[in-house]
Every structure is written in structure tokens, then in C-alpha cells.
Amino acid sequence: MIPVVHTQLLIEEIPTDGHSPMYFLCDDGDFYYCKYRTQFKRVELDCLVYEMVCHHLLQRLQIPTPDIALAMVEDGSYDIRKLKSNKLYVEPNIVCFASKQAPNTVLVTGIQSISKKPQANKFENIYDLLKIAMFDLWVENDDRGRGSCENYNLLVQTVNVQNNETGKTTTKFRWLAFDHAFAFGGQNNFRLFNETMMPSLPFKLFESQYFKSFKKYFKPSVYNSIVENFLDLQPDEIESVIQPVFAQLPAEWETPKNLGERMVTFLSDKKRIRMVKQLTLHSLKN
């Protein structure tokens, strides 16, 4: 079950070129980045469904991602004068998608890259970056990489990792993937995406300088195995991830009844998955 929280205090609205999330303190004592809609068309609320589905798919594939919740906006918890992008549609009792603030994290920016192997070794698992890049092709996420914009939607989290053999604890880094509102083809394909849409590399994480700075340290024996086995979920497994999400969607979002079924068809298409693997290998070898 996706937890439900209630907003207590608006800290600020975060200006972005997307949903401009509202940063709230909620009644469980934690901070959340809350998204609703900022445009006239209610179809934009599909983006919140994409967020929830991608979160659970990432968890199923064991890719780190921040915790999420549904956040009910409480009367008196915000000053409308602090809202610019959200002021037209935010009101008491609406339900937002909420991404919980992850501890000990920094945002990956466009100027970051690595140049030496010891830097790569500081990461708990550098192949998580490869899995995230493949995930984006699979779900057709249009909002990570973006060519020269270098909009990664990645956090780097500092964690303490214990060596099972020596018992020693070392400080490592791991990536957390977030913001999947523009999956399934993004804003240009609301309710139009289908399995005939083939994945492509332009403007994806694979083509970013950040990814390229890490891929030189990937071992062929490891990445070949990942490419072959990573996206091995069967249609019934994908459905078992998606179905509980749809069971908890707020009625006010007016989500189409067949959207979940279309997602399963899209994600389980063998031709698309084969193309994801081919594009991944092409990127890694060039």
C-alpha cells in the first residue's frame, strides 16, 4: 500500500520546467516534493500515475529510488502567495503525488563527471547507472539526459556499507532515480503511447557526458549479463506491479480504466525489449 500523508506547512515551490513541485512538511514529520497539475488539461494528471508505476517498477528491478506517498493538501497548510506554477489548481483536499526527501543526498548536475577509476570505485554499484539508462529506454522516459541540458533527475546518496568478510564499514555512494512524470513518451504522447513506439538513444542518459564518464569502467562480462537478463519481467509480473497502483489511485485524477492494461502491453512487448538491448550494447561499445 502507498502511504497517505497530510500536508502541514508549505516550505517553497521548486521552480522547474516541469511540474514545479511543492516542498511540504507533512504530518508524519518528513518532507515531501508534491506534484499535482499545472496546466489546463486534466490529462496531465496521468503524469502522477506514471510516477507511481515507475517507482514500483524500479523497486521490483532493485534500482534505488526515493520513497513515495499520496499527499492530501490540507486547508491552512500553504500560502497561495508562495505558489506561482501551482496556484490555479492547488486547493484543500486535492491529492498529490509525493516523493519523500531522501537523506544524505545531493543532486547530480550537468557539470559532474569522473575521470579516474578510484572515483568509480566509490560507488556501491556503478552498474546501477546502466540499469537506470536501460529502464529509461524501456519506459520511454523523456526527462533524463536531455542532451546538452544534462537534466539527470538523479540523486547521489552517501551510505555506509559493511564488508561481510572483514566487518569493516566504508562510505560509498549510490544513485537514486526520481522524477518519471514524462515516462511513456512524455507530454507529446498522453494516452497515445503504444507498443509500436520504439525506444531511441537521442537525448537519453546513454548520450550524456555523465554516463560516458562511467561506462569506460564497465566490464564487458558484467554488462553483457545485465543487458541479457535485466528486463526479464513477464507480462503477469508487470501486471502484478502495476495493478496495486491502480487500485489506490484517487478518483479525482480521472485515470482511464484501460491505462494499466496499455502499460502492460507496452512494457512487455518483446520487440521493444529487444530494441532496448540492442541500443544499449551499441551505446556501450561506441
Q: Residue 54 is which amino acid?
A: C
C-alpha cell at 106: 545531493
Instruction: Provide the pLDDT for residue 270.
Output: 97
Closest CA to 158 of 148, 169, 172: 172
Closest CA to 57 of 239, 220, 279: 239
Instruction: Provide the pLDDT for residue 149.
Output: 63
Find out whether 207 and 145 touch, Cβ atoms under 8 Å. Answer: yes
Find out whether 12 and 23 touch, Cβ atoms under 8 Å. Answer: yes
Classify residue 14 as exposed, middle or buried by CB count within 10 Å of its CB (0-12, 13-18, 19+): middle
Task: List the single range of 88-92, 109-113, 143-147 with lowest mean pLDDT.
Answer: 143-147
| Average pLDDT rounded to a whole number, residues 182-204 | 91
- When the pLDDT of each residue in the chain is averaged and rounded to a whole number, the result is 94
Tell me: pLDDT of 196 over 70: yes
Tell me: pLDDT of 89 over 50: yes
pLDDT in tens, 8-52: 999 999 998 789 999 999 999 999 999 999 998 899 999 999 999
Closest CA to 179 of 68, 45, 272: 68
What is the C-alpha to C-alpha distance for residues 43 and 61, in angstroms, rounded to an integer? 28
Instruction: Provide the pLDDT for residue 109.
Output: 86
Q: Residue 137 is which amino acid?
A: L
| Average pLDDT rounded to a whole number, residues 66-89 | 97
| Average pLDDT rounded to a whole number, residues 222-251 | 97
Instruction: Provide the pLDDT for residue 148.
Output: 47
Q: Residue 122 is which amino acid?
A: K
What is the C-alpha to C-alpha distance for residues 209 and 203, in angstroms, rounded to an integer? 11
Q: Please report, for the chain, how many H helices and E strands are present, in that order.
A: 8, 8
Question: How many CB atoms lie under 10 A from the CB of residue 80?
Answer: 10
| Average pLDDT rounded to a whole number, residues 136-157 | 85
What is the C-alpha to C-alpha distance for residues 193 and 266, in angstroms, rounded to an integer? 8
Tell me: pLDDT of 129 over 80: yes
- At 130 the three-state DSSP class reads helix
Q: How would residue 70 be classed by pLDDT, with cut points 50, 70 and 90?
A: very high
C-alpha cell at 183: 515516462
∠ CA 85-86-88, rounded to 5°: 105
Tell me the whole-structure pTM to 2 decimals.
0.96
Closest CA to 201 of 266, 278, 112: 278
| Average pLDDT rounded to a whole number, residues 196-209 | 92
Q: How would residue 98 be classed by pLDDT, with cut points 50, 70 and 90?
A: very high
Closest CA to 206 of 110, 283, 125: 283
- Report the length, in residues, of the chain: 286
| Average pLDDT rounded to a whole number, residues 142-165 | 84
| Average pLDDT rounded to a whole number, residues 162-180 | 92
What is the C-alpha to C-alpha distance for residues 172 and 63, in angstroms, rounded to an integer? 16
